[in-house]
Amino acid sequence: MSILEVNFDGLIGPTHNYSGLSFGNLASERNAQLRSNPKAAALQGLAKMRQLLSLGYQQGFIPPQQRPQLDSMRQLGFTGSDQQIIQQLAKQNPRLLSMVYSASPMWAANAATVTPSTDSGDGRVHFTPANLLTTPHRAIEAEATQHTLATIFNDPQHFKIHAPLPANNLFADEGAANHSRLCQHYGDPGVAMFVYGRDGLDSANQPARFPARQTRLASEAVARSHGLTAQQAVFCRQHPTAIDAGAFHNDVVAVANGPVLFFHQLAFVDKDFETIKQQLGNKLNLQLLPVNHQEVPLEDAIKSYLFNSQLLAAPDGDMTNMRLIAPSECAQNKSVSAYLERLLQDHQQPIRSVDFVDVRQSMSNGGGPACLRLRVVLNAQQRAAVNPAFLITEDRITALEDWVKQHYRDQLAPEDLADPAFYTESLETLEALTQLLNLKNFYPFQSH
């Protein structure tokens, strides 16, 4: 009971927009240049947090990053005031403008890879911020993510925040979206399952169409620096077919919790998976929930984001009484909703209920319920050591909803990013957030 998983959801920022920045992410490409609704996006995210809280789960959040992020443009030789740089970008290179305005840190599953203290061997929870270097708009997240994590988990006795891996193509890292921790119960020793799309050095077996974002070399480096021994980590290649079908992260086709691994038949390379099954099976009473292609075609799995559901143990950590928090798109997809009905009738497996949530604004950029959260397994002392400003209560959700309603736009078109008024508004919104949370000098603009 005292060791539990806490979900830290990305609080969706005021600049949420559809700029088609993620090659290989079908939703991002499909919705490029549409108008977004940042207010609805943030309220949908908060409603999901409220739902988990009311079901009895502990919940935290990760604040949005400062956008626009213009340091990256200054490094590229742009000069002048922030407003002048925005004007230059709007005129010369609107694509760069949308990159520095992206609200992509909302997808907290990509913030970092996390190893609980039960596994790290030094009594601390380890975090490595993901370098996200495959996509330029996400590569600018890493440094601020490191700072944010160090603010939330600000007790070095309990938490170790590593630097992101070197920003080199060999070490491309996407964080927890390509990592799962399997264990019998949260307090028992676990095995980290790292899933990578390409080796790093060896270029064989890569997807043909879309980029493989995670390298094996990166996964190995994270495992090593988190203190995991060869016995505590397994490495498995993502099926190139899945990446080419739009599963740019493994969490689009698989999700695990405790001893349960719920996955699409085409998620992993068969040969690797056979080895891993054995390695995992030797350590725990693994429960596999494979879904085959005839039952749910890969295209339906990717369109509905079935496997991007949050797979939750009961609030007290009971692994025999689990639930799925699934995107509402799953209820509308024929093969997926039929599958879920059958699943719930099967009492040999531990999932007892499915709750549908509307996170459509995020889904339209390729981010489902599981993308929006970073899972952190914490014992009671560690939970007490988390900076309370980032923990969710009913009152805090209400306060955050009021803040969103007061400051967020309900329509944002990519061309609005060039508007000088939007720049001022974005920073004022973040200023109001830090006042609400009582945070001093959290954002770079606040220390100038």
Catalytic member of 5, 141, 143, 174: 174
Binding mask 215-234 for ligand SUG (x = CB under 6 A): --------------------
CB atoms within 10 A of CB 385: 18
Question: For residues 334 and 357, what is the distance between their CA atoms, to the nearest angstrom?
Answer: 17
**Is 174 designated active site?**
yes
Shortest CB 80 distance to ligand SUG, Å? 25
Burial class (CB in 10 A: 0-12, 13-18, 19+), 258: buried
Strand ranges for 116-246 from DSSP E? 125-129, 159-161, 179-182, 191-196, 233-237
Q: Which is nearer to ligand SUG, 67 or 124 (CB)?
A: 67
Question: For residues 331 and 364, what is the distance between their CA atoms, to the nearest angstrom?
Answer: 16
Binding mask 229-268 for ligand SUG (x = CB under 6 A): -------------------xx-xx----------------
Shortest CB 305 distance to ligand SUG, Å? 9
Residue (of 363, 378, 370, 372) closest to 333 by Cα position = 363
Residue 138 near ligand SUG by CB under 6 A: yes
Residue 123, token pair as written in the block: 């009594």
Residue of 13, 240, 366, 369 interacting with ligand SUG (CB under 6 A): 366
The gap between the terminal CA atoms of the chain, to the nearest Å, is: 45
Question: For residues 165 and 293, what is the distance between their CA atoms, to the nearest angstrom?
Answer: 35
Question: Per CB under 6 A, which region of 22-30, 79-87, 264-272, 440-448 contacts ligand SUG?
Answer: 22-30
Residue 40 near ligand SUG by CB under 6 A: no
Residue 19 near ligand SUG by CB under 6 A: yes
Which residues from 169-198 bind ligand SUG, rule CB under 6 A?
Answer: 177
Residue of 26, 109, 125, 212 interacting with ligand SUG (CB under 6 A): 109
Residue (of 313, 338, 312, 329) closest to 368 by Cα position = 329
Enzyme catalytic residues: 174, 249, 371
> Can you give the binding site for ligand SUG, defined by CB under 6 A?
18-22, 25, 28, 102, 104, 107, 109-110, 135, 138, 177, 248-249, 251-252, 365-367, 371
